[in-house]
Amino acid sequence: MVEAPLPLSMKRIPRSGEAVAAVPPVSSSEANVSCTNRELATLLTGWAHPILSAAQAAEFERRLFAGDKKCEWAAMQAAGRAVAQAVWRDLTGLGPQVRQKPRLLVLAGKGHNGGDALIAAEAILAEQPTAHAEVFLVHGLRALRPLAWRAWATLQSRFPDRVRPISARDLSTRVNAQVRYTLCLDGVFGFRFRPPMDARAVAAVAAVNALPIDLRAAVDLPSGLRASATEGSRQSPPVDAAPHTDLPAAQVAGGDVAGPVFRADFTYATGSVKREVLGRREAGRLRYLDLGFFKRESFPPLPSGASLAGDCVLTEAVLAPLRAWRDPQTHKGREGHVFVLAGSREYPGAALMCVLAALRSGAGLVTGFVPESLVPSFAAQVPEAIWVGWPETERGGLALEGQYLLRERIERAVGSRSAGGASLVIGPGIGRERETQTLVTELVKAYGPVLPLLLDADALQSELIKNAKSPLILTPHAGEFRRIAGTEPTDAHLREFASRAGAIVVLKGPVTRICDGSAVGAAAEHCPSERHLSSFNQSLYSASMPVESGRPRSSRESPGSETVPVAGEVSALRGFTPPSDRTDFAHGEPVIIYSLFGDPVLARGGSGDLLAGMIGTQLAKRPEENCLQATCRALAWHGLTAETLSFSQNPETTHTVQLLNHLGDALRQNKTFFS
């Protein structure tokens, strides 16, 4: 995501006697607001912004601007410039030759969407002296609304020799000659569009779809895509219609089309993400351009059906702690300890990648529990990690008898008063051998109530998840979701499964969705997404503390004696009370957070293993932070790094672990991409 901070003039220009943050009065005939400003400010976290339907977005902007044309013009300029920067950044993925003498084609409608596209073209021409633009005003010059006309007049006056208006006949001639363009900016229709399309727009969109264009960019929504018949519904189409997905297109529901739809490579959602664009193949890849509409001090109440407690899109603000200075007094013990149980003789590489990702993403300590035959090789390749050989089954999997190894290490780590947080990652490469699966079940029972526990890959078992007595973090891809949930990965099924499991579910895909079923209703105060483990660094197992009255003594204990925790008998860390009644999770409906960070370069084996290790690190590094935010931070970093890797080299020639070499670059990247 490319952030474009809103100009100062956008923060509600006050009229005489009006407070800066004032909201225009809403009549009873208008849609009811879902929250007060105070409630919104309380709910707004800063790192996730609400997803609005097209109708909600129109109402929200009407309230935000309150008819102030200066504000609207400032917003249009911010949107156009943000689109220009984001488009130019994405063009870098095609190589430098594409940008040598860029040729732009701009389709401009009569409203604000057309103005955004024209301002984007102006910004590109201003930075690229060799660029030229052809502009087709689809409905003619006289039809332009005042702000769109202003954008067109500014563009033409600044670059009279490099901007050429073209007619419908000119466009048809270019189609017949198959003239190639570097970039096409689609600004014909925006989120206020309602079908049917007029004949001029139909002809323009159909013509452009037939042209050879290096990058097709839609502003807000691809022209021709209209709002769903069920306005305001929280149910989005499954995110399965974009390229590089494995879900059937027949499941796509929601937005309809009337006539041709602009086939975008990228859609740049300005100001807010509109629900109708999610999961649409015509939209290509989505980028969210934050214009500052959701700054706490400036935004009005949201329209009915929209809520900051509802579905959200992840923003780059979640990465802020990774861009801050480290505490100069810190040490490895305070930077988090990640325990990884992974690997088998059949899949050794998954464990290695997971451990390496945990190390490279900032963990102070990483302990890898792997089949003992793999330790010499792994220790030679990654000497920074602590490698513990686990007893093997006959087929090279992880045997039940090794449980004591994990218990001893976790006890030692959290028993230190100077220790920071810890997390446990189970699953990458462990295989489906019965004994190993039984081992996973036992470990979840023992350690799920104790520390953040992530299950990935073959550790994802439907019965285990169903019977778990503590919240978990689950990271399935679409195929694994079908296996453990028994349903297709639609939004509704994701909500239902996450709520039933009481888990944070990270459903990986072209657009990854995070659903926090652990924080639903009354269970929020008990779940890992809300639990605060600030006392984690002072926590001890019951082995070194008096037995708490609420816990029955083990048969191995005697009054006054030192106890040794065994599987199933480990007491919870101070500061964490696991839920005792799983039915508590049924209250309310869980939120879905969409992550638009990522790149098709991740469509290769091992990217999920890297993500599991990175999430494990974020869960361990800041024990006072909720697990949902830590998970989202790792996911955003993983996706943004994939984009950075894709810009630096051809995605066809990379290999998975190269992603780790760009983790730092992703955090330091320059937001200005013109060069």
Which residues belong to the annotated binding site for AMP?
Answer: 508-512, 608
Order of strands, sheet of 504-507, starting from the edge strand that comes earlier in the sequence: 273-274, 48-52, 312-314, 592-595, 512-516, 504-507, 473-474, 453-455, 422-426, 337-341, 365-371, 386-390
Q: How far apart are CA 73 and CA 53, in angstroms?
A: 23
Q: SS3 of 7, please?
A: coil
Which residue carries 């996450």 as its tokens?
A: 498
CA 388 to chain centre: 34
Amino acid identity, residue 322? L
φ and ψ of 420, to 5 deg: -90, -140
CA 441 to chain centre: 29
Residues 6+ apart with CB under 8 A from 435: 393, 397, 398, 399, 400
Q: How far apart are CA 625 and CA 645, in angstroms?
A: 29
Q: Binding site residues, as ranges?
A: 350, 429, 477, 508-512, 608-609
Distances, alpha carbon 511 to alpha carbons 436, 506, 618, in Å: 32, 11, 21
Q: How far apart are CA 259 and CA 198, in angstroms?
A: 9
Strands 592-595 and 512-516: antiparallel
Contact status, residue 439 vs residue 470, Cβ threshold 8 Å: no
652: its two tokens: 């066809």
Q: How far apart are CA 380 and CA 307, in angstroms?
A: 52
Q: 10 Å Cβ neighbour count for 249?
A: 11
Question: Which burial class, exposed, middle or buried, applies to 637 when counting CB atoms under 10 A from its CB (0-12, 13-18, 19+)?
Answer: buried
Tell me: cis bond preceding 196? Omega within 30 of 0 counts: yes
φ and ψ of 164, to 5 deg: -130, 120
Spell out the alpha helix ranges (H) of 92-211: 112-127, 146-158, 168-177, 199-209
Q: How far apart are CA 638 and CA 660, in angstroms?
A: 9
Contact status, residue 643 vs residue 663, Cβ threshold 8 Å: no
φ and ψ of 268, to 5 deg: -105, 105
Question: Which burial class, exposed, middle or buried, applies to 380 when counting CB atoms under 10 A from its CB (0-12, 13-18, 19+)?
Answer: exposed
297: its two tokens: 């001090």
Q: Binding site residues for (6S)-NADPHX, as ranges?
A: 350, 429, 477, 609
